[in-house]
Amino acid sequence: MGGSYDALLRDTAVALTAAGIDNARFEARLLMAQAAGLSVEQLISRGRDPAPTNVVETVRSLAARRVRREPMAYILGEREFWGLPFKVTPAVLVPRPDSETLIEAVLSLMPDRTRPWRILDLGVGSGCLLLTLLREYPAASGVGIDASADALAVAQENAERLGVASRARLMVDDWRQQSWLEKLDGPFDLVVSNPPYIKSATIAGLMPEVSRFEPKLALDGGTDGLDAYRLLAAGSRKLVTSGGYFVVEVGEGQALEVADLFAAAGLSSRAPWKDLGGIERVVAAHH
Protein backbone atom coordinates (compact mmCIF):
# COMPACT_ATOMS: atom_id res chain seq x y z
CA MET A 1 0.00 0.00 0.00
CA GLY A 2 1.10 3.57 -0.47
CA GLY A 3 0.89 6.54 -2.78
CA SER A 4 -2.37 8.43 -3.10
CA TYR A 5 -5.60 7.96 -1.22
CA ASP A 6 -7.08 6.46 -4.41
CA ALA A 7 -4.25 3.92 -4.60
CA LEU A 8 -4.67 3.07 -0.93
CA LEU A 9 -8.40 2.56 -1.48
CA ARG A 10 -7.76 0.28 -4.43
CA ASP A 11 -5.19 -1.83 -2.58
CA THR A 12 -7.38 -2.12 0.51
CA ALA A 13 -10.40 -3.15 -1.55
CA VAL A 14 -8.31 -5.82 -3.32
CA ALA A 15 -7.22 -7.25 0.04
CA LEU A 16 -10.80 -7.37 1.34
CA THR A 17 -12.09 -8.93 -1.89
CA ALA A 18 -9.44 -11.64 -1.66
CA ALA A 19 -10.73 -12.44 1.85
CA GLY A 20 -14.22 -13.05 0.43
CA ILE A 21 -15.77 -9.86 1.77
CA ASP A 22 -18.70 -8.37 -0.11
CA ASN A 23 -18.92 -4.61 -0.75
CA ALA A 24 -15.15 -4.48 -0.41
CA ARG A 25 -14.72 -1.00 -1.89
CA PHE A 26 -17.42 0.44 0.38
CA GLU A 27 -15.85 -1.14 3.45
CA ALA A 28 -12.39 0.01 2.37
CA ARG A 29 -13.66 3.61 2.30
CA LEU A 30 -15.06 3.22 5.82
CA LEU A 31 -11.74 1.87 7.11
CA MET A 32 -9.86 4.71 5.45
CA ALA A 33 -12.23 7.32 6.84
CA GLN A 34 -11.69 5.84 10.31
CA ALA A 35 -7.92 5.85 9.90
CA ALA A 36 -7.69 9.34 8.44
CA GLY A 37 -10.33 11.00 10.62
CA LEU A 38 -12.06 12.21 7.48
CA SER A 39 -15.55 11.82 6.06
CA VAL A 40 -16.05 9.62 3.01
CA GLU A 41 -16.78 12.79 1.02
CA GLN A 42 -13.50 14.34 2.11
CA LEU A 43 -11.64 11.19 1.15
CA ILE A 44 -13.13 11.27 -2.34
CA SER A 45 -12.18 14.90 -2.81
CA ARG A 46 -8.59 14.16 -1.75
CA GLY A 47 -8.28 11.03 -3.86
CA ARG A 48 -5.15 12.13 -5.71
CA ASP A 49 -3.42 13.54 -2.64
CA PRO A 50 -0.65 11.47 -1.06
CA ALA A 51 -1.81 9.46 1.93
CA PRO A 52 0.26 10.21 5.07
CA THR A 53 2.40 7.37 6.35
CA ASN A 54 0.49 7.11 9.64
CA VAL A 55 -2.81 6.78 7.75
CA VAL A 56 -1.37 4.07 5.50
CA GLU A 57 -0.13 2.11 8.53
CA THR A 58 -3.44 2.46 10.35
CA VAL A 59 -5.42 1.36 7.29
CA ARG A 60 -3.17 -1.69 6.98
CA SER A 61 -3.85 -2.58 10.60
CA LEU A 62 -7.61 -2.12 10.31
CA ALA A 63 -7.76 -4.02 7.02
CA ALA A 64 -5.87 -6.94 8.59
CA ARG A 65 -8.52 -7.15 11.29
CA ARG A 66 -11.30 -7.15 8.71
CA VAL A 67 -9.51 -9.79 6.62
CA ARG A 68 -9.66 -12.00 9.71
CA ARG A 69 -13.43 -11.36 9.47
CA GLU A 70 -13.75 -9.23 12.57
CA PRO A 71 -17.09 -7.38 12.25
CA MET A 72 -16.84 -3.87 10.86
CA ALA A 73 -18.86 -2.57 13.81
CA TYR A 74 -16.20 -3.72 16.25
CA ILE A 75 -13.43 -2.20 14.16
CA LEU A 76 -15.25 1.12 13.82
CA GLY A 77 -16.57 0.94 17.39
CA GLU A 78 -20.05 2.03 16.39
CA ARG A 79 -23.17 0.84 14.61
CA GLU A 80 -26.31 2.73 13.62
CA PHE A 81 -29.65 1.40 14.86
CA TRP A 82 -33.00 3.14 14.26
CA GLY A 83 -31.01 6.13 13.00
CA LEU A 84 -29.12 6.41 16.29
CA PRO A 85 -25.38 5.83 16.87
CA PHE A 86 -24.58 2.99 19.28
CA LYS A 87 -21.15 2.22 20.62
CA VAL A 88 -20.37 -1.48 20.23
CA THR A 89 -17.54 -3.68 21.49
CA PRO A 90 -16.95 -7.44 21.39
CA ALA A 91 -18.86 -7.60 24.71
CA VAL A 92 -22.17 -7.07 22.87
CA LEU A 93 -23.97 -8.33 19.81
CA VAL A 94 -23.78 -6.03 16.81
CA PRO A 95 -27.21 -4.33 16.44
CA ARG A 96 -28.94 -5.55 13.29
CA PRO A 97 -31.62 -4.06 11.05
CA ASP A 98 -33.77 -7.16 11.72
CA SER A 99 -34.08 -6.06 15.34
CA GLU A 100 -35.63 -2.75 14.26
CA THR A 101 -38.72 -4.87 13.53
CA LEU A 102 -39.20 -5.14 17.30
CA ILE A 103 -39.24 -1.36 17.66
CA GLU A 104 -41.84 -1.13 14.88
CA ALA A 105 -43.99 -3.75 16.62
CA VAL A 106 -43.87 -1.94 19.96
CA LEU A 107 -44.77 1.42 18.43
CA SER A 108 -47.79 -0.13 16.73
CA LEU A 109 -48.93 -1.91 19.90
CA MET A 110 -48.38 1.09 22.20
CA PRO A 111 -49.07 4.19 20.09
CA ASP A 112 -49.33 6.65 22.99
CA ARG A 113 -45.89 8.29 23.10
CA THR A 114 -46.78 10.47 26.10
CA ARG A 115 -47.49 7.76 28.71
CA PRO A 116 -44.93 7.10 31.48
CA TRP A 117 -44.54 3.46 30.44
CA ARG A 118 -42.32 1.18 32.50
CA ILE A 119 -40.11 -0.92 30.22
CA LEU A 120 -37.89 -3.93 30.94
CA ASP A 121 -35.23 -5.21 28.54
CA LEU A 122 -33.95 -8.72 29.29
CA GLY A 123 -30.44 -9.16 27.89
CA VAL A 124 -29.93 -5.48 27.18
CA GLY A 125 -26.53 -5.80 25.45
CA SER A 126 -25.61 -2.54 23.74
CA GLY A 127 -28.93 -1.08 24.83
CA CYS A 128 -30.20 -0.71 21.27
CA LEU A 129 -33.74 -1.85 22.11
CA LEU A 130 -34.29 -0.24 25.51
CA LEU A 131 -32.56 3.06 24.74
CA THR A 132 -34.29 3.44 21.38
CA LEU A 133 -37.64 2.91 23.09
CA LEU A 134 -36.78 5.49 25.74
CA ARG A 135 -36.07 7.96 22.93
CA GLU A 136 -39.40 7.14 21.31
CA TYR A 137 -41.28 7.36 24.62
CA PRO A 138 -39.86 10.46 26.35
CA ALA A 139 -41.93 9.97 29.52
CA ALA A 140 -41.01 6.30 29.92
CA SER A 141 -38.47 4.75 32.27
CA GLY A 142 -36.64 1.50 31.78
CA VAL A 143 -34.69 -1.28 33.42
CA GLY A 144 -32.13 -3.31 31.50
CA ILE A 145 -30.51 -6.48 32.77
CA ASP A 146 -27.62 -8.45 31.35
CA ALA A 147 -25.44 -11.27 32.67
CA SER A 148 -22.34 -9.43 31.38
CA ALA A 149 -20.98 -6.45 33.32
CA ASP A 150 -18.91 -5.53 30.26
CA ALA A 151 -22.07 -5.37 28.15
CA LEU A 152 -23.77 -3.16 30.74
CA ALA A 153 -20.83 -0.76 30.66
CA VAL A 154 -21.39 -0.35 26.91
CA ALA A 155 -25.14 0.15 27.43
CA GLN A 156 -24.48 2.75 30.14
CA GLU A 157 -22.21 4.73 27.84
CA ASN A 158 -24.82 4.56 25.09
CA ALA A 159 -27.54 5.73 27.51
CA GLU A 160 -25.43 8.76 28.38
CA ARG A 161 -24.58 9.53 24.76
CA LEU A 162 -28.24 9.33 23.78
CA GLY A 163 -29.44 11.48 26.67
CA VAL A 164 -31.63 8.88 28.40
CA ALA A 165 -29.37 7.76 31.26
CA SER A 166 -31.59 9.43 33.87
CA ARG A 167 -34.48 7.17 32.81
CA ALA A 168 -32.54 3.91 32.45
CA ARG A 169 -31.47 1.62 35.31
CA LEU A 170 -29.00 -1.04 34.23
CA MET A 171 -28.20 -4.04 36.41
CA VAL A 172 -26.25 -7.29 36.25
CA ASP A 173 -28.53 -10.30 36.45
CA ASP A 174 -29.00 -13.65 34.76
CA TRP A 175 -32.39 -15.19 34.00
CA ARG A 176 -30.81 -18.65 34.25
CA GLN A 177 -30.50 -18.10 38.02
CA GLN A 178 -33.36 -19.03 40.34
CA SER A 179 -33.91 -15.67 42.03
CA TRP A 180 -33.78 -13.33 39.04
CA LEU A 181 -37.50 -12.52 39.00
CA GLU A 182 -37.54 -11.42 42.63
CA LYS A 183 -34.81 -8.82 42.04
CA LEU A 184 -36.91 -6.89 39.53
CA ASP A 185 -39.34 -4.21 40.65
CA GLY A 186 -42.13 -5.42 38.38
CA PRO A 187 -44.52 -5.74 36.83
CA PHE A 188 -43.82 -3.67 33.70
CA ASP A 189 -46.03 -2.26 30.96
CA LEU A 190 -43.65 -3.63 28.35
CA VAL A 191 -40.99 -6.33 28.42
CA VAL A 192 -38.70 -6.72 25.41
CA SER A 193 -35.92 -9.15 24.67
CA ASN A 194 -33.63 -10.30 21.91
CA PRO A 195 -32.48 -13.47 23.69
CA PRO A 196 -29.98 -16.05 22.47
CA TYR A 197 -31.83 -18.23 19.94
CA ILE A 198 -29.20 -20.03 17.87
CA LYS A 199 -29.10 -23.82 18.25
CA SER A 200 -25.87 -24.74 20.04
CA ALA A 201 -24.75 -27.18 17.35
CA THR A 202 -25.09 -24.62 14.54
CA ILE A 203 -23.09 -21.73 16.02
CA ALA A 204 -19.79 -22.96 14.58
CA GLY A 205 -21.31 -22.93 11.08
CA LEU A 206 -22.45 -19.31 11.20
CA MET A 207 -20.67 -16.53 9.33
CA PRO A 208 -17.16 -16.14 10.80
CA GLU A 209 -17.98 -12.58 11.86
CA VAL A 210 -20.57 -14.08 14.21
CA SER A 211 -19.13 -17.45 15.19
CA ARG A 212 -15.60 -16.18 15.89
CA PHE A 213 -16.23 -12.75 17.35
CA GLU A 214 -19.70 -12.17 18.81
CA PRO A 215 -20.32 -13.19 22.45
CA LYS A 216 -21.47 -16.82 22.63
CA LEU A 217 -23.56 -16.08 25.72
CA ALA A 218 -25.75 -13.85 23.57
CA LEU A 219 -26.05 -16.43 20.78
CA ASP A 220 -26.45 -19.89 22.30
CA GLY A 221 -30.11 -20.82 22.72
CA GLY A 222 -29.50 -24.43 23.70
CA THR A 223 -30.16 -27.65 21.83
CA ASP A 224 -33.29 -26.40 20.03
CA GLY A 225 -32.64 -22.65 20.35
CA LEU A 226 -35.60 -22.14 22.68
CA ASP A 227 -34.06 -22.38 26.16
CA ALA A 228 -34.27 -18.64 26.85
CA TYR A 229 -37.88 -18.38 25.66
CA ARG A 230 -38.94 -21.14 28.07
CA LEU A 231 -37.47 -19.17 30.97
CA LEU A 232 -38.94 -15.88 29.76
CA ALA A 233 -42.40 -17.33 29.19
CA ALA A 234 -42.38 -19.00 32.60
CA GLY A 235 -41.90 -15.62 34.29
CA SER A 236 -44.02 -13.59 31.90
CA ARG A 237 -47.17 -13.24 34.01
CA LYS A 238 -45.15 -11.87 36.91
CA LEU A 239 -43.23 -9.48 34.69
CA VAL A 240 -46.02 -7.94 32.60
CA THR A 241 -48.91 -5.85 33.92
CA SER A 242 -52.45 -6.76 32.97
CA GLY A 243 -52.91 -5.14 29.57
CA GLY A 244 -49.16 -5.06 28.96
CA TYR A 245 -46.99 -6.71 26.32
CA PHE A 246 -44.05 -9.09 26.16
CA VAL A 247 -42.30 -8.60 22.79
CA VAL A 248 -39.38 -10.78 21.67
CA GLU A 249 -37.19 -11.24 18.63
CA VAL A 250 -37.07 -14.82 17.33
CA GLY A 251 -34.99 -16.82 14.89
CA GLU A 252 -36.18 -18.06 11.52
CA GLY A 253 -38.88 -20.69 11.92
CA GLN A 254 -39.29 -20.15 15.68
CA ALA A 255 -42.29 -17.78 15.79
CA LEU A 256 -45.01 -20.41 16.19
CA GLU A 257 -43.18 -22.36 18.90
CA VAL A 258 -42.36 -19.20 20.85
CA ALA A 259 -45.96 -17.98 20.59
CA ASP A 260 -47.10 -21.37 21.94
CA LEU A 261 -44.78 -21.02 24.93
CA PHE A 262 -46.31 -17.68 25.87
CA ALA A 263 -49.82 -19.01 25.27
CA ALA A 264 -49.12 -21.91 27.62
CA ALA A 265 -48.06 -19.34 30.23
CA GLY A 266 -51.41 -17.57 29.90
CA LEU A 267 -50.63 -14.73 27.51
CA SER A 268 -52.31 -14.25 24.14
CA SER A 269 -50.08 -13.89 21.11
CA ARG A 270 -50.49 -11.52 18.19
CA ALA A 271 -49.65 -12.34 14.58
CA PRO A 272 -45.86 -12.21 14.22
CA TRP A 273 -44.14 -9.25 12.59
CA LYS A 274 -41.97 -9.94 9.56
CA ASP A 275 -38.59 -8.34 8.95
CA LEU A 276 -37.51 -6.82 5.63
CA GLY A 277 -36.50 -10.27 4.40
CA GLY A 278 -40.00 -11.62 4.99
CA ILE A 279 -38.97 -13.74 7.98
CA GLU A 280 -41.32 -13.86 10.98
CA ARG A 281 -38.99 -12.01 13.32
CA VAL A 282 -40.99 -10.68 16.27
CA VAL A 283 -43.57 -12.30 18.53
CA ALA A 284 -45.77 -10.18 20.82
CA ALA A 285 -47.74 -11.63 23.71
CA HIS A 286 -50.50 -9.69 25.51
CA HIS A 287 -51.33 -10.11 29.19
**How far is 241 from 147, CA to CA, in rounded Å?**
24
Residue 179 is predicted with a pLDDT of 76
* pLDDT for the residue 206: 84
The tens digit of pLDDT for each residue in 149-180 reads 999 999 999 999 999 999 999 999 887 777 77
Least confident of 103-107, 130-134, 159-163, 203-207: 203-207
Q: Quote the pLDDT of residue 1.
A: 44
Q: Domain locations in the chain? A: 5-68, 78-286
User: Which DSSP string do the residues of 103-134 spell out, in sequence order?
Assistant: HHHHHHH---TTS--EEEEES-TTSHHHHHHH
Helix, strand, coil in percent for the chain, rounding step 5: 45, 20, 35
> 90 preceded by cis ω (within 30°)?
no
CATH number of 78-286: 3.40.50.150
**Would you say residue 214 has pLDDT above 90?**
no
Which residues make Cβ contacts (< 8 Å) with residue 153, sequence separation at least 6?
Answer: 91
What is the mean pLDDT of the segment spanning 73-93?
96
For residue 63, name the pLDDT band (cuts at 50, 70, 90).
Answer: very high
Closest CA to 190 of 272, 123, 99, 121: 121
Instruction: Please say if the pLDDT value at position 186 is more than 90.
Output: no
Rounded CA separation 189/287 (Å): 10
Predicted TM-score of the model (pTM): 0.91
Query: CA-to-CA distance for 264 and 261, rounded, in angstroms?
Result: 5
Q: Do domains 5-68 and 78-286 have the same CATH topology?
A: no
pLDDT digits (tens, 9 = 90+) for 271-287: 899 999 999 999 999 99
CATH number of 5-68: 1.10.8
User: Mean per-residue pLDDT for 82-95?
Assistant: 96
216-249 per-position pLDDT tens digit = 877 777 788 899 999 999 989 999 999 999 999 9
Predicted pLDDT of residue 240: 96
Q: Tell me, what's the pLDDT at 91?
A: 94
